Structure 1
C-alpha cells in the first residue's frame, strides 16, 4: 500500500494522534504541489497582460490609458464571468477525483467548454461595440476610440479563456497541473520575445503588441490540447462524448452561481476604473489606477494559486468523505498565504515608486501611483487571506453564499465609500482606493465568519449527493456507443 492510499484510509482518531509538525509538513507538500504550478500559470498568464501594457506604455500615454481602461474594464468583466463559470468545473472535478469517479472529469470538462463557449459568444458584442459603449458612459472621446481599436484584438483572447481556464481547473483537480505551469511559463517567454520583436525591433506598435499577445496565448491552449488528446491521462479523458450534452441544467445553475460570485469581485475594481475616468485629467487618473491594479493583480495571481490549491484540497477531501482533513487543510493554506502576503506588503512599502517606472515614463503618473502605495500595500496583504477563503467556498460548492457576501461588501459598502471620498471629499483616486480597500476588509471578515460556521460533515454529505446526481456509468459498451470520435 502506497502513502496516498494510507492517507485516504486514515481514520479521524489516527489523524488526531499524528504529530502536528508532520501533519503540517505533509499538508504543505500537498498544498505546494498544487499551488506552485498554479501560481506559475496564473502569474505568467496575467504577466502577458502586464507585459503588453509595459510595451504600450512606452509607445504613448493614450495607448497606455486605452489599454488600461480596456483591460481593467472589458477584459476583467468577461474574464470574471468565465473564471466564475469555470470554477464549477473545479468543484465537480475535485470532488469526483476524491471520490474516484475519474471518467466523469472528462465529461465535466466537455460540458464546461459548451457552457463557457456559449457564454463567450453572448459576450462578443461588447468587444465589437466598445467605442459606443464607452461614449455612452461618458468616457473621453480619444480614449474611447483607441480602446475600441484595441478591443477587436481581444476577440481571439476571449475564446482562449474558454479553453485555458477550464483545462487548468481540470488538470489541477487531479494534481496534474505541473504541465500547465510549464506551458504557461513557455508561452510567457514567447510573449516577451514576440513583443520585443514586433514592437521594438520591427516597430509594429499596437498591432505588434496585440499580435504577440494572441499568438503566445494560443500556444498555451494548443499545447494543453496535445497533452489531453494525446492520452497522457486516460483515466479522466476517454474521448469526446455525447454524455457531455446530458444533464446540462444543474451544471449551468452551479456555473451561474460560481460566475456571480467571481464577477461581483472582479467587476468591483472595473467600476472604480470607470469612475476614475470621470475625474480631472482622466488619462493620468486611469493610467495610475490601472497600474496600481496591475501591481495588485500580479500579487493576487500568486494568491489565486492558493485559492486553486485550497479548492482542490477541500474538494478532494470532501469527495473522500474526510471532513477533519478538509478543515486542517484550510488552516495550513491560510497560514502559508498570509506569510507570503506579509512579504509583499513590506516590498510594496519600500519599492512602490520604482515599480511604477516599469509601466510609464511619465513623472506625473508615477507620482500619482506613489501616493497610493500605502493603500496598495494593505490591499496586497488582504489578497493573501480572502482568495483562500473563496477557494474553500468553491471546493465546498457554496458559491452562492459568497456571492451575497461579495454583493454586500463591495457594492453596499465599498463603492459608496469610494464615490463619497473620491468625489465629495475630493480625494480623487486615493478616495476610490480607500473605498476598494474598505470593501475587501468587510469581505474578508464575512468570509472568515462563513468559513468558521460551515458544518463540514454536512458538506461531505452534500458533496456525495452532488456527485451522485451528475454520475454517468462508465462501461466499455456505453463509452463506445457515446463517443463522437
Structure 2
C-alpha cells in the first residue's frame, strides 16, 4: 500500500464558518493519514518494548536482587547500546522519508544496506561494554552483588545487540513507505511467543536469569527473520532490488549523518541511564533502584504511544518536505502534537488515580511497592511531558535538525537536569524524588525550547533544503509535481 498525501491545508476566505469547516475537513484528513501510520506503529512499538517488560515481570518473581540486576542491565548497558543503535539507524528516517516524498524509491534499499554496515560495525564496537559490564558498574558504585549478577546477564544478551543492528534500519525502511501493519503483526506474535517461552524456561524449568536472557535473544531474532522474509518476498519491487556494492559508496558521509542522529537520540536515552546511576549511589540502593526502574518501565511503556506519533510525524514531515509541500508538513506537526498530548493527559490521570496499586503489578516486596507509590505524582507529570517531546523530536528527524536538537539536549539535560537532580537528591537529602525532580526540570526546558524552534520554523526553506538533500544523496528530485507549497 503506497503512502498517502494530504493536500495543502488552509482556511478559506469565504467566511469564518466556511473557514472552520475547511479546517475541520483538513484536520480529519490529516488525522486519518496520521493514524494509518501511528496506530500500527504504536502497537508494534508497545509489543516490542513489552518484550523487556515481560522479562522484568518474570525475573521480579525470582527476587529483588535479580530484579535490580536485570533492571540495571536494561536501563544502563542495554539502554546505552539501544540508544546508539537506534540513533544510527534513525538517519534513514530523514533520507528515506524525503526520498519517498520525491519519488526516489530506488535509493531506499541502498540507504538501508549502508545503515546495516554501519550498525553492525557499531555493534562489534559496543560488545566489550557487555563483556566488561560488571567492573564498569562497580566503577559507578553499584553494589558488588548486583554488579556481578548484572555482568553475567549482560554477556548472555549480546545477541540482542546484533539483533538491534539489523532491526532498526529495516524498520525505518518499512516505516518510511508506511508499511507498518506487517511490523505490528510480527511483533504481536513474537510477544506471545516470548511470554510462553519465559513461562517455560524461567518459571517451570527454573533456568533463572540465563533462561530469561536466552528467551530475549530468541524473541528479537524471530522479529528480524520475519521482517527479512517480508523484505525479500517481492513486496518492494522498486525499493528493494537485492544486495548491492553501492551500499559501500559514500559511507563516510553516511556515517556523519548517522552519528548526528545517534547523538541526538542517545543524549535523551542516556539521561535516563544517568538517573539510574545517580539512584544507585543512594542509601538502600536496591530498593531505590527497584522503585525507579518500575516507574521508568511504566513510563517507557506509555511513551510507546508518543513514539508512534513520533514515527508518524517523522514520515509525514519528511514525505511532504521531499514532495515540496511545506504547508502540509507544518499542519501535520500541529495534528500530531495535539493528538499525542491528549493521550498524555489520559495516562497522567490514570497514574494519579492508581499510584498505590500499579506497583503491585511489578513487585511483591512491600518496601519496593511503598517506595514506588511515592513516585507516582512525578511519574504522572513526566508521562505528560513525554507525550509532547518525542513528537517534536520526530519533527526534527523528519526535517533533518538532528545536530541542532543534540545541542538542545546537552544544555537541558546535562547542564540543568542532572546537576539539579544530584543537588536535590544528595545535598538536600530528597533521595529518589529529588533526582527525578531534576530530570523533570530538564524535560520541561527541552520541551519548551523545541516548541519554540518548531513555531519559528520557515517550512518553505525546509522544503528547499530537502530537495538539496535528495539531490546530494540520491540524484535528481523525483518526478512528482509539487503541490500546495
With structure 2 as the length reference, what TM-score do the two structures score? 0.94
Question: Is 1:104–1:472's contact at 8 Å kept on the other side of the alignment?
Answer: no
Map of 1:101 onto structure 2:
104
Structure 1 portions without partners, runs of 5+: 475-485
Alpha-carbon distance, 1:208 to partner: 1.7
State yes or no: 1:276 paired with 2:279: yes
Map of 1:353 onto structure 2:
356
State yes or no: 1:78 paired with 2:108: no
Map of 1:376 onto structure 2:
379
Pair 13,143 (structure 1): closer, same or farther in 2 beyond 3 Å: closer
Pick aligned residue for 2:28 from 9, 12, 25: 25
Q: CA–CA distance in 2 between the matches of 1:372 and 1:138?
A: 23
Pair 4,106 (structure 1): closer, same or farther in 2 beyond 3 Å: closer
Alpha-carbon distance, 1:4 to partner: 7.5
Map of 2:91 onto structure 1:
88
Pair 3,437 (structure 1): closer, same or farther in 2 beyond 3 Å: closer
With structure 1 as the length reference, what TM-score do the two structures score? 0.94
Q: Deviations over 1:445-471 (max 9, x none)?
A: 000011111111111111111111111
Map of 1:477 onto structure 2:
none
Pair 73,105 (structure 1): closer, same or farther in 2 beyond 3 Å: same
Q: Deviations over 1:161-204 (max 9, x none)?
A: 11111111110110011111110111111101111111122222
Q: CA–CA distance in 2 between the matches of 1:458 and 1:150?
A: 49
Map of 1:394 onto structure 2:
397
Pair 56,253 (structure 1): closer, same or farther in 2 beyond 3 Å: same
Map of 1:481 onto structure 2:
none
Q: Which consecutive segments of 4 or more residues in structure 1 shift more than 3 A?
A: 2-5, 10-18
Farther-moved stretch of structure 1 (193-202 vs 15-24) = 15-24
Map of 2:189 onto structure 1:
186
Map of 2:164 onto structure 1:
161
Pair 54,70 (structure 1): closer, same or farther in 2 beyond 3 Å: same
State yes or no: 1:177 paired with 2:180: yes
State yes or no: 1:139 paired with 2:142: yes
Following superposition of structure 1 onto structure 2, how do residues 31-430 of structure 1 map, counting pairs within 5 Å? 31-430=34-433
Q: CA–CA distance in 1 between the matches of 2:164 and 2:441?
A: 30
Question: Is 1:296–1:380's contact at 8 Å kept on the other side of the alignment?
Answer: yes
Q: CA–CA distance in 2 between the matches of 1:84 and 1:453?
A: 25
Q: Deviations over 1:203-253 (max 9, x none)?
A: 221122122211111111000000001111211111100111111122111
Q: Deviations over 1:86-142 (max 9, x none)?
A: 110111110000000001111111111011111111111000011111122221100
Q: CA–CA distance in 2 between the matches of 1:84 and 1:203?
A: 36
Alpha-carbon distance, 1:331 to partner: 0.5
State yes or no: 1:447 paired with 2:417: no
Please report the RMSD computed on the Cα atoms of aligned residues, expressed in angstroms. 1.8
Alpha-carbon distance, 1:13 to partner: 7.3
Q: Deviations over 1:239-278 (max 9, x none)?
A: 1001111111221111111111001100011011011111
Question: Is 1:195–1:209's contact at 8 Å kept on the other side of the alignment?
Answer: yes
Question: Is 1:106–1:238's contact at 8 Å kept on the other side of the alignment?
Answer: yes
Q: CA–CA distance in 1 between the matches of 2:397 and 2:192?
A: 31
Pair 252,194 (structure 1): closer, same or farther in 2 beyond 3 Å: same
Pair 50,13 (structure 1): closer, same or farther in 2 beyond 3 Å: closer
